């Protein structure tokens, strides 16, 4: 009897909370190719009234992505099965970005 592949093996979850939001949306973008730098959107979410968001998207390989909120960005590295929680305050974005969860060790170390 062989094991069935799990849907969650190719899924990445990114959720979190933004203090002092500058916009009502967040995005995870990636480069479709590195020659033209054409970007694709892996997923997006609308913030709730408390600044919380949650995204779940299919991802079949380990690679860099970029998290966007308004004019603020942070680089991340995601792998299939990752479940990340971000917390940040837009008043001091770079100083307050914090990653937690499965896969957090890599984004925390590339900052």
Q: Which domains are present in the chain?
A: 9-110 (2.60.40)
Contact (Cβ atoms closer than 8 angstroms) between residue 82 and residue 12: yes
Instruction: Tell me the average pLDDT of the chain.
Output: 84
SS3 106: helix
Contact between residue 12 and residue 80 where contact means Cβ atoms under 8 Å apart: yes
Give the tens place of pLDDT for each residue, 11-64: 999 999 999 999 999 999 999 988 998 999 999 999 999 999 999 999 999 999
The pTM score is 0.80
């Amino acid at each position: 009897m062989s094991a069935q592949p799990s849907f969650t093996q190719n899924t990445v979850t990114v959720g979190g909370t933004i203090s002092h939001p500058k916009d009502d949306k967040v995005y995870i973008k990636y480069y479709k190719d590195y020659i033209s730098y054409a970007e694709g959107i892996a997923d997006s979410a609308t913030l709730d009234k408390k600044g919380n968001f949650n995204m779940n998207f299919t991802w079949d390989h380990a690679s860099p992505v970029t998290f966007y909120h308004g004019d603020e960005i942070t680089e991340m590295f995601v792998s299939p099965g990752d479940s990340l929680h971000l917390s940040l305050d837009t008043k001091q974005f770079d100083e307050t970005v914090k990653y937690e969860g499965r896969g957090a060790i890599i984004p925390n170390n590339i900052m």
